[in-house]
C-alpha cells in the first residue's frame, strides 16, 4: 500500500474545502446551541468540528473505501479505532478543528490536521490554517513544506540547538496531575520564553519551522500528534516519548517531547520535565 502524489493533493484539497465550507463560515459566528462541552468547560465541540469531520470523512471513504478513518469527534462512538491504527493497512486520522476552545472564543489560533498511516507508520501529514489559508505538508522521506495561500512553498527546518536559557518552548501541562504540573511549571522559568497556544496544530507548525525550540505534551491522542510529529521529524527534529521510545500510531500515553536534536531532547527531559 502506498500513497501517491495525486493522493496527497487530494487530501490537501479535502482539508481546504472543509475549512472553506464548514469552518470559516462559523468562525466568530457560533450560536449558543452550536457549542457544547465534552468532558469539561475547556473541552469543547462545535458544529464546525462535527460538520468538517463529516465532510472530510465522506470524501476519504469515497476515494479509499477500505481504509480506516479515525476522526476525533467520531471517536466516542467507537474507541476501538485508535488501537487499530497500530496494524491498519491504510488509515486516515482527522482533527477537524484543533484548538476548539480558541475557535469558540473567537481566537484565530486553530487548525485542521490530517495524518496518513500505513501498517503502523505515519507516512504523510497535513496541517492547515483555515484563517490564513496556509498549509504544512509532510511526506515521510521527502521533507516538510509550508505552502502559502498564494502558492509559494518553503521547506521547513527546525531551530538550531541552543542553551537552555536561550530556548523558546512550550510544554502542555493541563492534562497532568500533581506533582508533575507544579514541577514543570516551575522548570519552565529556566528558558527564555514560553508559549501556550492550546493548539497542537500551531505548536507543531512553530516547532517544525524553527520558531520554537521545543514542545511537549502528556496526552497523546493521535489526531493531535501524528501529522505534527511527522512534520517535525521531516524538518530535521527529534521527537520521542518521555521514556525515549518512538511515538507510534495507536499510542495514547507516555508523554512526548519534540526538540531540535537528541541532545536538546535529553536536556528538556531532564531540566524541564524533570525525569
Provide, rounded to the nearest whole percent, the portion of the chain with pLDDT above 70: 98
Per-residue confidence (pLDDT) for residue 41, from 0 to 100: 63
Which has the higher per-residue pLDDT, 271 or 38? 271
Looking at 135, 153, 171, which one is the last position of a domain? 153
Full-model pTM:
0.95
Provide the CATH number for the domain around residue 78: 3.30.540.10
Query: Do residue 109 and residue 47 come from a single domain?
Result: yes
Per-residue confidence (pLDDT) for residue 74, from 0 to 100: 82
* Count of domains observed in the chain: 2
Which segments are annotated as binding site for Mg(2+)? 72, 95, 98, 224
On whether the CB atoms of residues 233 and 136 are closer than 8 A, the answer is no
Query: Residue 58: CB partners within 8 Å, gap ≥ 6?
Result: none
Per-residue buried b or exposed e for 145-181, using 16+ beta carbons within 10 Å of the residue's own CB: bbbeeeeeeeebbbbeebebeebbbbbbbeebeeebe
| pLDDT reading at 211 higher than 80 | yes
How does pLDDT run across 59-68, given as a tens digit for each residue? 999 999 999 9
Query: Do residue 137 and residue 166 come from a single domain?
Result: no
Provide the CATH number for the domain around residue 231: 3.40.190.80
Query: Do residue 117 and residue 175 come from a single domain?
Result: no
Which segments are annotated as binding site? 72, 95, 98, 224
Query: Do residue 35 and residue 61 come from a single domain?
Result: yes
Domain extent, residue 12, equals 3-153
How does pLDDT run across 23-55, given as a tens digit for each residue? 999 999 988 888 887 776 666 788 999 999 999
How does pLDDT run across 160-205, given as a tens digit for each residue? 999 999 999 999 887 788 999 999 999 999 999 999 899 999 999 9
On whether the CB atoms of residues 18 and 96 are closer than 8 A, the answer is yes
How does pLDDT run across 86-145, given as a tens digit for each residue? 999 999 999 999 999 999 999 999 999 999 999 999 999 999 999 999 999 999 999 999
Amino acid at each position: 500500500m502506498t500513497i501517491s502524489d495525486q493522493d496527497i493533493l487530494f487530501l490537501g484539497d479535502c482539508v481546504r474545502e472543509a475549512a472553506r465550507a464548514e469552518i470559516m463560515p462559523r468562525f466568530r459566528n457560533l450560536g449558543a446551541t452550536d457549542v457544547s462541552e465534552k468532558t469539561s468547560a475547556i473541552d469543547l465541540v462545535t458544529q464546525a468540528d462535527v460538520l468538517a469531520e463529516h465532510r472530510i470523512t465522506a470524501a476519504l471513504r469515497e476515494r479509499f473505501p477500505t481504509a480506516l478513518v479515525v476522526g476525533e469527534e467520531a471517536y466516542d462512538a467507537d474507541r476501538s479505532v485508535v488501537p487499530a491504527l497500530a496494524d491498519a493497512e491504510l488509515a486516515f486520522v482527522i482533527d477537524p478543528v484543533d484548538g476548539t476552545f480558541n475557535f469558540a472564543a473567537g481566537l484565530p489560533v486553530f487548525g485542521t490536521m490530517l495524518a496518513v498511516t500505513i501498517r503502523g507508520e505515519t507516512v504523510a501529514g497535513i496541517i492547515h490554517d483555515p484563517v490564513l489559508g496556509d498549509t504544512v505538508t509532510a511526506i515521510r522521506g521527502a521533507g516538510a513544506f509550508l505552502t502559502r495561500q498564494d502558492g509559494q512553498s518553503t521547506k521547513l527546518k527546525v531551530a538550531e540547538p541552543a542553551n537552555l536559557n536561550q530556548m523558546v518552548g512550550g510544554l502542555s501541562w493541563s492534562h497532568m496531575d500533581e506533582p508533575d504540573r507544579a514541577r514543570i511549571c516551575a522548570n519552565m522559568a529556566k528558558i527564555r520564553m514560553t508559549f501556550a497556544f492550546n493548539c497542537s496544530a500551531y505548536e507543531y507548525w512553530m516547532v517544525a519551522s524553527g520558531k520554537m525550540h521545543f514542545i511537549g505534551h502528556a496526552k497523546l491522542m493521535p489526531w493531535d500528534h501524528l501529522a505534527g510529529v511527522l512534520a517535525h521529524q521531516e524538518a530535521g527534529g527529534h521527537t520521542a516519548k518521555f521514556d525515549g521510545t518512538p511515538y507510534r500510531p495507536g499510542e495514547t500515553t507516555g508523554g512526548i517531547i519534540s526538540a531540535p536534536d537528541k541532545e536538546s531532547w535529553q536536556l528538556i527531559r531532564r531540566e524541564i520535565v524533570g525525569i
